[in-house]
Amino acid sequence: MAAITVKTNPRGLSRDDYKGLATTLCAGCGHNSITNHIVKALYDHGVDPFRLAKMSGIGCSSKATAYFVERAHAFNAVHGRMPAVTTGAALADRELLFLGISGDGDTASIGLGQFCHLLRRNVDCTYVVENNGVYGLTKGQFSATADPGSVLRKGAVNQLETIDIAGLAVQLGASFVARSFSGDGPQLVPLLRAALSHRGTAVLDVISPCVTFNDHEGSTKSYQYVKEHELILQDLDFIPQQAEVEVSYDEGTATEVELHDGSHLRLRKLGRDHNPQDRLEALRVIDEGRRSGEVVTGLLYVNPELPDLCSAQHLPRIPLRDLDASQLRLTRDQFAALLEEWS
C-alpha cells in the first residue's frame, strides 16, 4: 500500500486525531458547528489528547464532549454541576487541560451558583457555554438567558430579565470573558486558542442556535437574529508563543494581549475602540448591547495576571495522586511528637 501523507500539527497529530464520535444532535444545530471549531482549535493548538479533560453537565450542548477528541478522558456530570466537578479535578491534577462544555440552562439556570463560584476561584479551565436561550434536550422551554420579550415557537413570551452570562462573568471579576457565535469560526477559533493559553477560568459565551426549538421569527437566539444584530468588536489572530510575528499591520489599529503561556492574541479594532483590559469598559459595551439589542461579540475582558486556584492553594506541579505515603503521612517521629503534644 502506497504511503499517503496526512497533514499533521506540531505534535504530529492529524486533524482526525481530534475527532470524536458521530454527533447525535439535530442536523444544523449550532452546537455541531462549535464542535467543529473546537476540533480545529485543538488541532491548530497542538493540544495533547492525553492531557485534555473534557467536562460537561447535562443537555444537548453537554453531550457535545463526546463528539471531539475521542482519545481524551471525559466527565459528563449531573445537570448544572460541572463547575464543582471541574474544580475538584483541577485540584487533583493541575497539569491537565480542562475544556468544559455547558448550555445556557446548565449554566445560567440550575448551575448559576456553581458557575459564579467557579469564576470566583478562577479555576484553570476553558468554559464554553453553548447558548441557545432554551432547554433543547427537554424540548424547548425558556432558559434564564432568554431575552425579555423573546417568543417560543408555540407563542409563549418571556416576561423575565435575561441573565447575560458574559456581563455577569465580567462583573464577578472573571479573568477571561468573550462572546462569540457558533457560525463565526474565524472569531471563535482564535478565542478558543487564547482561552486554552490563558491560566484561569476563560468563559466563552457562544450563541448557538437551536434549530429545532428556537430558530424562528421572534427568537433573539436565531441564526437570522444574530446575523442581523451582531456587533463584532475586533478581528482576532492568535499568535503562538514560538511563532515570530510575520504579519505586519498598521500601528494604532491593532493591539496585542500577552497570555500566560507567552502566546499572544492580536486584536484589530473594528469600528469602536475597546480595551479588553478595562473591566468597566467591558461592562459598558455589554450593557449598551443589552439595551440596543445588539449581540456584542469578541474578547470582552481579560486579566492574565489573576492567580488561578491551584496557585492560590500552592499546590505542587505533579498530580496529587502521584504523592505517596512518605510524602503524605507524618513520619513516625512527627506522629509520636504530636500524640505527646496532645496528651
Ligand X SMILES: Cc1ncc(C[n+]2csc(CCOP(=O)(O)OP(=O)(O)O)c2C)c(N)n1
- Contact between 249 and other proteins by CB under 8 A: the answer reads no
Answer with the entry of ligand X, a copy of itself, ligand SF4, none that 81 interacts with (C-beta below 5 to 8 A by kind).
none
**Contact stretch for ligand SF4 (CB under 6 A) within 22-30, 75-83, 169-177, 305-313:** 22-30
Q: How far apart are CA 60 and CA 197, in angstroms?
A: 27
- Contact between 25 and ligand SF4 by CB under 6 A: the answer reads yes
Answer with the entry of other proteins, a copy of itself, Mg ion, none that 122 interacts with (C-beta below 5 to 8 A by kind).
a copy of itself
- Contact between 211 and ligand SF4 by CB under 6 A: the answer reads yes
Find the binder of ligand X among 43, 68, 127, 135 (CB under 6 A). Answer: 135
How many residues sit close enough to other proteins to count as binding (CB under 8 A)? 76
User: What is the secondary structure of 132-201 as a DSSP string?
Assistant: -SEETTTTSEE-TTSPTT-B-TTS-B--SPP--HHHHHHHTT-SEEEEEETT-HHHHHHHHHHHHHSSSE
Q: How far apart are CA 225 and CA 103, in angstroms?
A: 19
- Contact between 132 and ligand SF4 by CB under 6 A: the answer reads yes
Contact pattern for a copy of itself over residues 107 through 146, marking x by CB under 8 A: --xxxxxx-xx-xxxx---------------------x--
Find the binder of other proteins among 36, 141, 171, 277 (CB under 8 A). Answer: 141
Answer with the entry of a copy of itself, ligand X, other proteins, none that 46 interacts with (C-beta below 5 to 8 A by kind).
none
3-state secondary structure of 304: coil
Q: How far apart are CA 299 and CA 275, in angstroms?
A: 9
- Contact between 150 and a copy of itself by CB under 8 A: the answer reads no
Q: Using CB atoms within 10 A of its CB, is residue 43 exposed (0-12), middle (13-18) or buried (19+)?
A: buried
- Contact between 134 and ligand X by CB under 6 A: the answer reads yes
- Contact between 14 and other proteins by CB under 8 A: the answer reads no
Closest CB to ligand X among residues 58, 192 = 58
Q: How far apart are CA 221 and CA 83, in angstroms?
A: 24
Nearest to 42 by CA among 74, 69, 71, 62: 69
Closest CB to ligand X among residues 106, 237 = 106
Instruction: Give the three cell numbers for residue 62.
Output: 453537554
Nearest to 231 by CA among 319, 142, 160, 293: 293
Q: Which residues contact 337 (CB under 8 A, 6 or more apart)?
A: none
- Contact between 316 and a copy of itself by CB under 8 A: the answer reads no
Q: Using CB atoms within 10 A of its CB, is residue 3 exposed (0-12), middle (13-18) or buried (19+)?
A: exposed
Q: Which residues bind a copy of itself (CB under 8 A)?
A: 109-114, 116-117, 119-122, 144, 159-164, 167-168, 171-173, 279-280, 283-284, 287-288, 306-307, 312
